[in-house]
Every structure is written in C-alpha cells, then in structure tokens.
Structure 1
Amino acid sequence: MATKKTSTPHISASPRTVLPGSEKSAFVQTAGEKPAPSGTKITVSVVVRRKAPLKVANRLGKQRLTHAQYRKTHGADPAAVKLVRTFAKEFGLTVAPDTPGPERRTIKLTGTVAAMQKAFGVTLVHKTHDGTTYRVREGSITLPTDLVGPVEAVLGLDNRPQAQPHFRIAGEAGDLTANIAQAGGFAHPHASGTSISYTPPQIAALYQFPPNASAAGQTIGIIELGGGYKTTDLTAYFKTLGQKTPSVKTVSVDGGKNSPTNANSADGEVMLDIEVAASVAPGANIVVYFAPNTDQGFIDAIATAVHDTTNKPSVISISWGGPESSWTTQSLNALDAACQSAAALGITITVASGDNGSTDGLTDGSNHVDFPASSPHVLACGGTKLIGTGSSINSEVVWNEIANNEGATGGGVSNFFPLPTWQANANVPAPTNSAGGRGVPDVSGDADPSTGYIIRVDGKTLPIGGTSAVAPLWAGLIAVANAQNGTTAGFIQPAIYAAKGAAAFNDITSGTNYSGSPTGFTAGPGWDACTGLGSPIGTKLIAVVNPSSTSTSKGGKSKGSKKKPVRTRPARKPHAATNRRKAAAGKRR
C-alpha cells in the first residue's frame, strides 16, 4: 500500500508578525502621491542573523578574527538563509545574482513592486520632493512569523535619502564657486570669508604626525553616497603638494558610481575625503565605495568595505550621517552590526560627528547625536577651530559658528546605544532616554571652515571644513600608525580612553556646541561632548594604539604583529597635562 505524501505548509500561509524596529516615519509633506508602478522591479537587502553572536572580546577588538574564521563562525545562519529562500520562492521573488557571500549575512531579493508589497506587507508609493521622486513606505514591515528572528532587517523598499555629507565650504555667501561644490545644498558657504586655510599636510604637522611619514602598504576605504572625483583634479592637487598622486580605486555598491559633476553633487565631499586622507598618509592606497544615499546603500557599502578581501582596507572613513532619530531601529542595528564585524577583524572606522551642533540640525527642542557616529563601534570625530604655525598650535577651541549660521561640531549623548565600558570613567552626561548613554564624539580635529583645508574640487581650489575633514584626517593617522607599528590598530577606544591615552591628546577646554534650545554642551578638562578626548598628538597617539600582542580567536598572534620603530620628535603641549579621570562636574551642560 502506497504511503500518502504529506505536504509541507507554505510559509506564505503562516500568520504574520511585525518585523521589530522596521517602522518607517512619514515622509515630508508633498503636493501629491501615486502608487509605485506595480510592474517595476526593485532589489531589497534581507539581513539574517549570525550563526553565532560575536563575543564581547571580538567586539572590543581584544580577540581578533581572520576573515576565514569570521566567515566560518559568524556568517549567515544557514537555517535562516534556507527560510528566506523558501519565502522568496513562494512570493515570486528571486535571489539576485550579486548576492554576497555568507560573511555579509545579506540576501538580495529582486521582484516587482506588487510582489514586494505582498511579501513584506507594505504599500509603496511615489512622492516628489524638491523635484525628485522617491519610492516611499511608511509604517512597519510584516513577515511570516517563522521569519521574525532569523531575519533582522529588510532594507531597500524605501529609497528616500538617509544621510547628509558633513562638510562646509568657506567663501562669501552666495559665491558661485562655493555653491557649485556644496553638495546640492548640504554644505554652506562661510559668509564672513576664510581667515586662515591650511593644506592637509600642514594640519598634520600641527598635530605632530611623524615627519616624512609613510603609509605604504595600507589601504584606506572611503564610503561615499553621491558625487565623484576626477583623476585630473587629483593629479593637479598632489602636484601642488609635491606628492605622488595616490592610487585611487572605486568599488560600486548597489549600482553606485563615481559621478563627478559641476553642480548639485557631493563632489566636495568626495574630493575632501580623498585629498585629506591620502595627503596625510602618503603611500596609502585609496578605495572609494560608491553607493546610493539610502539606508540600504549605506549599510551595504560599509559591509562591502569591511569584508573586502581583495582591497583589504585597514581603516574606513565615513563623512556622511544623519540624526540618530531619523533612522529605523532595524537600520541602526544592522549598520552597527557591520561596525562590530570591523572591530572583530581589526579594522578601524572613523566617522564625522556632524556639523549642526548639539541639536544635529533638528528643531524639536531636544539635543541629538548623529549616526553612524553614535555607534559604539566607530571612532566618532568632532570638530575644533585650529590656529597655528609650522608645528606649533597657538590656540584650539570648539568649532562653533552657529551664531553666524556657519555650523558647529556635533556631539552629545546617544539615546539608543548604552554607555560603553570604555567610557565608564569619562563622565558622560546622562542620556535623555534611559536606554542610551554612549558619548559622542571620541576625538576631534580642525573642522571650522574659517581655519579650513585647501581642497581642489572640479577644477577649483576652495577652503573646506566640517567634521567631514576630521574623519579622513584620523583615518590617515591610523593608516600611518598601522604602517609604523606593523599591525592594524583596529578598535582603539579601550586604549585611548585608558589613563595612558591622555598624553596623546591636545585637551580642548574652551567653547561650546550650543545650537539652540535646549542648551548644548561645554568643553572642559578631559572628555567632553564637544571634542571628546581632544585632537591628536600624532607620534604619541601612534604609540598608544599599538596593539603589542593582539590575539585571534584561537589564541594566536595576529598577522603582522612585528613592531616597527616609531619615529618621534618633541611634541608641543598646548594644554597642561590633564587627568582624564577627573570628574567633570564643573562643566556647564
């Protein structure tokens, strides 16, 4: 007698549950909207859980993993991948041919708008804002209950802009040259004109980077969500510096491309990042990861760079971001998870902390921090106003030109990420939300456009500032440190927040980042929510971040642990030595 075959229940018939953290806020008010064309094909990124969570020691960079070890133990959970593939088939979606390997934990699914709406329980509409039409979803994503847990995020249903570049152009208000390069209105000319400007190597000299430093053998990854660069500009720029033009490669993520233009672009951001990072770290290779300006593009770009075993960046610079409150919880977690992976793999990520002071440009009567700077797994970079000559700093204070509508350093306390262990003694103010506590920024550097960086953009030479300049400056310093120490610095916060780290910083004790109501934060001795631990004393910082005996997950020494001698020279101390564990109770918040 034949055995009757039992059919397997379809996932599509299962009860549906909201994907935690997927709620998307309402889009800006527009004159009208219409349904997204049902037959249009789109691609989403489905992020699934790891085989096994990263250990605390991995996330703190104390127990590093090789890419092979990471992939084997912390790549995508095969059971979750199987569920998603079954789900996709039942809803008429296909796995995209460019789906990355299991280390990325991302499955790219392609299908029509109609199929996506049914699969993820959403309504997709077209809304036009400032002349651009976006595909928008509002509210939550729902999934068959069995997929909630195995699936951690679904990105790409909505393609509204997620981030802004954090740079400011110095120049007369309304100046055509400044407007051409200011990223479609994101950057703003400095109305009073520039009083001082420096080449990046001059700023490096003020911060005591080793003279004649080389970062040969290192690769600096740069994340860009728009704009582009012209090789002719780079050749001309580095010729004026007397340096060899760096090797610059591009990697396309989710269709992003190197697209330089003369107007309405983020070329100023791209050129600032490349020219600062490469000129203060001569000999380093530069790899630019271009992605669309969406949460999907941003997260995919970082994950691509972190797991790029072809170009192997040892440090990644990010000068884009947006208020923490403008991100969905699933996106905050997915991007932070990519940064955790970087820490486990010995890769440093430097991130601009924002250019709109303590409110991060919002007008809701609250202070806000910028993300991804608020991730506890990146080095958040704030801004100062620097005046100096040669290798001597005359003054350095918090960058704040809000009164002149010219920007200020971002900084404050996260309402999402808790206080990290390495900030426990930094006297970080209490968060507004009890779930938060992570203090921003960690470090700082020159950012005021009135003491800006001389940068070439689209054939023009302009003084540019913003915390966008500080992230590649620190990335360049880390690349030099990696070359001199013979091993990657990796996740440096435990080292720089330790007592021994104090001597590696110029402590910034004057200024505020107030940017409206409520009151912002004030600089003072030790860490503060304006400039973090301070600006770098390069040669000392290189010694502090040298991981003398970093271990892998199997207890062995990391590759390249051989030390190289660090060249030093007497460093000027613009501030008296400060005990960074001293309570900052006297700071006015």
Structure 2
Amino acid sequence: MFSTLHRKSLPLSLGLLLTGLSTGAMAASATTAVDIGATPASQNVQVTWVLKLRNQAALEDYIRQTVTPGSAHYQQFLTTSQFAQQYGANDSDISRVQTYLQKQGLSSQILPSHLAIRTSGTTAQLNALFNTSIHTYVSRETGHPFHKPATTAQIPSAIADVVDVASGLSNELTYRPHLVSSSAFTALNVQSPKTNALSAKTSGSNGNPTASGVPGEYTVGDVANFYNINPLYKRGVVGKGSTVAIVTLSNFYPSDATTYWSDIGLATKPNRITQVHMDGGGAIDDGSSETSIDVEQSGGIAPYANIIVYDAPNAGNGFVDAFAQAVSDNIADSISTSWGLPEIFNFAALNVEGASDTDTTDVGDLRAFHSIFLEAAVQGQSLFAAAGDSGAYDTVSDLGAGTAPGDYTAPLTVDSPASDPYITASGGTTTPYSYAFGTGPTKSITQESVWGWDYLQNYFDTYIGPNVVNLFSVGGGGGVSVYWHTPFYQVLTHGIRRSEPNQSLVYNDPVAGPTPLLILPSRFSGRNVPDISLNADPETGYIFVSTYDGGLNSGEGGTSFVAPQLNGITALLRQSSGHRIGLWNPQIYALQNVFGYGPFSAFNSIRAGDNWFYYGQPRYNQGAGIGSLDVANLDLFLRSGF
C-alpha cells in the first residue's frame, strides 16, 4: 500500500538551519524591517474586538468543577447561549460598542458567544479610531510586506471598559505549522531500512491491521498499537456521534484525507468533512500539507467522527477568528491546531530581569486566545495545540541561532498558543527503533524517549564528521512560560519548574553589535509545557497524503501529528463515555498525581532522551510532560469517574 512514496522537502527554515544560516526575524522587525511609509488610506483592514469577560473568577471556578468528580457541576457543560448570558458581555455593553463603531462608519457583527465583534474599515478610519498611523513595512530578510501601527494604538476611551483586545491592526506575525521532515538525511546514505523495535507490539492478533510497522511510514494504525487504542476499536468505539474540529491557516484538498484512509485500508464514515472558510479562508500553499495531515490523523484515529475544518488567512486576526468561530459554533467536541509561534514573539518589551507578566505589552493575541479557550473549557470542548518542534529553544525555528553578525541568541522559550493553561500542549517523543548512516554503526533507541535530534547530531559528529549538519534545536517543544503563571493543576505535580535565569533574545546587529531585544523573566513561576506527548520524531514518523506535496509522502513528523491524534482520541473517549471530556489538563494531572505510573496507569513515563535542555525523568518533565498515553486505561478511568 506504500508503493509510491515521496520524501517531503524541508521547510525553508529547517533547510536554512541545516546549512548554518538563520531565517527571517519576526521578533525584531524594528531592526530588520524597512518602513516604506503610511499604508494607503483606502486599504481595508479587518479587526476583531475581543470583549472583556464578566465574572472571570467564577468562570474559572465553574470550569474546574466541570472536570472534578464529586463537584456540584461535574460534567455540566454550558451551551454557547448560557456562556453568553453568564460570562460574555451584556447586551447594553455590546450595543454601546456597536453604536460607537457605527458612528465611526464601521459595520459590526457580534458572535453568539458575546465574546467578540468583527468589523472592518479603511486604514484612514482605523487610524482615526485608534489614534495611530498604520504603516507598511518590508522585511529585509524575506522581502515580506506587512502593515502595523507605527505608534501605539489606543483603544477608544469610550469603549475601553468593554473591549479587551483589538486583533488585526498588525499582520506582521505569521504562524508556522509544526512539521519536520527527515528528508535531510537521505543524502547521508542510509545503510539499511530502519527497523521497529516494537515489532512484537505491532504484529499478531492484537495488532492493528492498518499499521505498517515501519518507522517513517507509520500510520494511525501504528499509533493505535503504540498507545493501546485497539481495545476501544474492538468494543465498536470508532468516534460515532463525535465531532472534531481543525483550526488551521491553510486550505487543503479534502480528497487527500479520503485517499490516505483508503490507501491504508481504513473504513471511515463517508461525506464527513465540512469546511468553514473564515475571513476569506486560507490559501493553498506550503501549509496545506499541515491541514491534510491534521484531518488524516484526527479522522483516522476516530474513523466515524465528523470533521469540521476552520481555515483562515495566516495574517492579522485570522487565527483568532477561526478559533473564536469554532468555539462559538460549539459543534465540535474537541478542537486541535498544529500552528504556533514563540510565546515571546507576542511581547513588545520585557525590560528587566525578573519582570512579571504585567511588564509585557502587545500581548493581545495571548489574551484573546485565553478568553476563547476559557469559553471552550466551560462548554466541554477539549483543546489541543502542537507544542513546537524546536526543542527547548522555540525561537530557533524562525530566527536560527549563532554569534555572527545578523544572528540571534537562542533563549529557552515555549510555543503559543500551546502555552495557554486552558489548552493541552501536545509534545513529542521518539519511539524505539534502530538506525545507521554512512559508514557508521547501527544504533538503537530502546525505550520511548523525549524527542530531540541531539542524538542524531552526536551520531553525525562522531561517525560522519563534525559540522556536516546542524540540527540544533530540532525536537519536541517544552519548557516554562514566562507569561502564564503555573496553573492550579500543576501546583502539586512533581517536576514542575520555574523559568531559568539569564535568558535573553539578543540580535547581533552588523553595525551596532549585540542588541538586547528581550530580557526574559528569571525564575518565573510559569505554566510548564508540554502536557502529554506521543511519537513525533520524523525518523520514527509517518506517511501522509498531500496533493500540494505530490501525493503520498513519508518521513514526516513533528508535534503537528500529536495534536490531531489527541483530538481523534478524544472523539473515541467521548463516544465511550457518552459525554464530552472537557478540559484534559486538570483531569490528567490529577490522575498522574494520585495513581502515578504502572501497568494500570493511563500514562507511560518517558525517562530517556531530551529536547536539548530538559531530560526525560520518571515524573513530569518539560521534554514529554506527564508522558505518553495508555488510551484504554485512560478510558477506564474516565468512565469510572475516577
């Protein structure tokens, strides 16, 4: 069934990384972008106004109760209208905002959740409204044009008590799909096919018939074998009655998913994919493979679940709008995204070592996502986000790292939106396998490990030659947020850490020399990520189908596989339990804190490997989180109310 396999070409940033070059600098646009003047006054700009929540403390308490057995509101999730009535903006405040916008010549549309108002206007209108001047800039590195306010935009005082965030005035930041390919190593002459050290687990009467058992060509059937999903399938649990949603920033060809399922011999519900194009929809572009993978993986794990794909442009308020719509629609029981960017790219300034989150500015999208995720949690929608593919140093995928002029330092950082406390950060592991390159010996990874390509870096440096490739810092994202405080569900978890000292983002300006851009908080008591990890190493990676990338491909990995896999697993758990699962995090941390690891645990401890800084441990660790899953055991706990 794998007769026509292609190796996907490397994403631009990784390709440059492998040759020792840095990529375009998004966080330092003031230094690396050219201001070409005021944006034309007639240009249309879309803005989403995220409104302030009412009774947020009560909302957070209610969310906690929905996922705490024995609480008064356990599994009593709210509808969108109930959320709007209790926690969204009230009718009078909404009317005041819409009336104000109308007086400025702007039409508006309120979401049913009462959480956001969408509007658009000309640059001239928005300049007047926000008391700023929107300019157009061009990146020196990439030539990419974007617009943003040249001076700090101010929310009008007449509505500032109602509006929390205005998203979309800038389209400088673009999110990246968390995909990594192993194709860089084909030129290093792999000696022999890689072997699967879990062969006993992937064969025989208990094995999944759609599994390949071949590292780099794994399917959703192999995921079922690795993480004990097959007992659910044998009970007829295949996602019936469940709906999963994908939030993405590229359009795709739905036939990719149906071809993938057919190629691996998987029976699925027909005609189950619905597309919702937000703000004109995403483009068919380099991110289209990501969307195909998300649908193939989530829908392959839960073959009879319905699938809704919310796609939006990768600019401005597109990501916020897609998430807000998916949550406000409240059709999907679970939602995943495989896009993100370094959390610190949302900061305009962190001025002093040891600063608190109140010292950050321009973190609007972090706050916007947080409100949306709170709504999802109280409605019982489980959320998942890829934790990133640059190990403990999340900026390296975008900025590179080095000491030469034009290079950036690599501070310990985490990815957003995975760092938000109300979404489940999906990390990456390497499953056992054997490998060899060039004239080097065969080596083996004998236990599931934190994914970090330093094990390959060491191999190449030793047996192929130093500096042949630079793999720093490819691996599963993880670390400590310097914006979000440690959430309640991590407080009692052994292994939770504070942020490290002496972390800063410095640009080595060719003229001015080392220029500090951000000095990150030291020993900040922050949210730790990831939460849960599954196989993501491209060397033990997967096949996928993408028309954009030429059809059937192999050797792909990244945490972008893990988020949709957890999405599909949630659809199975939803069918098995008969109700929505809700926010995973408080439930899985409670299970781990109480029951630990062992043959009846819902989790496998990840004790080996590292993501270039954080090491596997027989406890929570910032390389793999709680660990990987035993889905059948997790299902038993959830059905019993543990």
| TM beyond 0.5 | yes
Deviations 1:155-177 (A, max 9, x none): 111122331110112324699xx
Distance apart, 1:461 and its partner CA: 2.3
- Paired letter, 2:605: D
* Pairing 1:111–2:125 present: no
| Equivalent residue, structure 2, for 1:321 | 340
Distance apart, 1:230 and its partner CA: 4.0
Matched pairs, number: 490
In structure 1, distance between residues paired with 2:185 and 2:135 = 37
| Equivalent residue, structure 1, for 2:175 | 163
- Paired letter, 1:239: S
Distance apart, 1:436 and its partner CA: 4.4
| Equivalent residue, structure 1, for 2:274 | 249
Superposed, 1:294-443 pairs within 5 Å as 294=315, 296-309=317-330, 312-327=331-346, 328-362=362-396, 363-387=408-432, 395-402=447-454, 403=457, 405-406=470-471, 407-426=474-493, 427-432=495-500, 433=521, 436-443=525-532
From 456, 462, 484, the counterpart of 2:554? 462
In structure 1, distance between residues paired with 2:388 and 2:553 = 23
In structure 2, distance between residues paired with 1:538 and 1:28 = 48
1:493/1:195 Cα in 2 relative to 1: closer, same or farther (>3 Å)? closer
- TM (norm. structure 1) is 0.78
1:114/1:150 Cα in 2 relative to 1: closer, same or farther (>3 Å)? same
From 206, 221, 230, the counterpart of 1:201? 221
From 66, 70, 75, the counterpart of 2:79? 66
Decide whether the 8 Å contact of 1:489 with 1:546 is kept in 2. Answer: no
Distance apart, 1:286 and its partner CA: 1.0
Decide whether the 8 Å contact of 1:48 with 1:77 is kept in 2. Answer: no
1:547/1:249 Cα in 2 relative to 1: closer, same or farther (>3 Å)? farther
From 54, 61, 76, the counterpart of 1:57? 61
Name stretches of at least 5 consecutive residues in structure 2 with no aligned partner.
1-26, 68-72, 188-213, 347-361, 397-407, 435-444, 458-468, 501-520
- TM (norm. structure 2) is 0.72
| Equivalent residue, structure 1, for 2:161 | 149
In structure 1, distance between residues paired with 2:105 and 2:186 = 52
Q: Which moved more, 1:344-353 or 1:204-213?
A: 204-213
* % identical aligned pairs: 30
Superposed, 1:224-303 pairs within 5 Å as 224-231=248-255, 233-246=256-269, 247-257=272-282, 259-260=283-284, 264-294=285-315, 296-303=317-324
1:344/1:525 Cα in 2 relative to 1: closer, same or farther (>3 Å)? same
| Equivalent residue, structure 1, for 2:20 | none
- Paired letter, 2:323: I
* Pairing 1:214–2:235 present: no
1:244/1:268 Cα in 2 relative to 1: closer, same or farther (>3 Å)? same
Distance apart, 1:103 and its partner CA: 0.8
1:149/1:545 Cα in 2 relative to 1: closer, same or farther (>3 Å)? farther
Distance apart, 1:131 and its partner CA: 4.1
Deviations 1:403-439 (A, max 9, x none): 3545211100111111111111223111253664111
In structure 2, distance between residues paired with 1:547 and 1:125 = 57
Distance apart, 1:200 and its partner CA: 1.6
Decide whether the 8 Å contact of 1:382 with 1:409 is kept in 2. Answer: yes
Q: Which moved more, 1:372-381 or 1:48-57?
A: 48-57
- Paired letter, 2:46: T
| Equivalent residue, structure 2, for 1:510 | 608
1:501/1:542 Cα in 2 relative to 1: closer, same or farther (>3 Å)? farther
1:489/1:114 Cα in 2 relative to 1: closer, same or farther (>3 Å)? same
In structure 2, distance between residues paired with 1:136 and 1:315 = 33
* Pairing 1:540–2:540 present: no
In structure 1, distance between residues paired with 2:334 and 2:273 = 15
Decide whether the 8 Å contact of 1:200 with 1:454 is kept in 2. Answer: no
In structure 1, distance between residues paired with 2:177 and 2:391 = 15
In structure 2, distance between residues paired with 1:323 and 1:240 = 36
In structure 2, distance between residues paired with 1:479 and 1:394 = 31
3-state SS of 2:146 partner? strand
Distance apart, 1:122 and its partner CA: 2.0
From 559, 573, 576, the counterpart of 1:484? 576
| Equivalent residue, structure 2, for 1:497 | 589
Distance apart, 1:501 and its partner CA: 6.1
Decide whether the 8 Å contact of 1:48 with 1:106 is kept in 2. Answer: yes
3-state SS of 2:230 partner? coil
Distance apart, 1:446 and its partner CA: 0.3
Deviations 1:378-398 (A, max 9, x none): 111110001279xxx952111
Superposed, 1:526-537 pairs within 5 Å as 526-537=619-630
- Paired letter, 1:66: T
Deviations 1:133-174 (A, max 9, x none): 222224522133342231100011112233111011232469
Decide whether the 8 Å contact of 2:215 with 2:433 is kept in 1. Answer: no
| Equivalent residue, structure 1, for 2:465 | none
- Paired letter, 1:249: T
Decide whether the 8 Å contact of 1:314 with 1:479 is kept in 2. Answer: yes
Q: Which moved more, 1:405-414 or 1:361-370?
A: 361-370
Distance apart, 1:26 and its partner CA: 4.1
In structure 2, distance between residues paired with 1:365 and 1:290 = 31
Deviations 1:512-544 (A, max 9, x none): 111xxxxx2111111000000111011011223
CA RMSD for the aligned pairs? 2.4
3-state SS of 1:276 partner? helix
Distance apart, 1:281 and its partner CA: 1.1
Decide whether the 8 Å contact of 1:276 with 1:473 is kept in 2. Answer: yes
Decide whether the 8 Å contact of 2:541 with 2:554 is kept in 1. Answer: no
Deviations 1:178-197 (A, max 9, x none): xxxxxxxxxxxxxxxx9643
- Paired letter, 1:240: D
1:501/1:376 Cα in 2 relative to 1: closer, same or farther (>3 Å)? farther
Distance apart, 1:47 and its partner CA: 1.3
In structure 1, distance between residues paired with 2:409 and 2:147 = 26
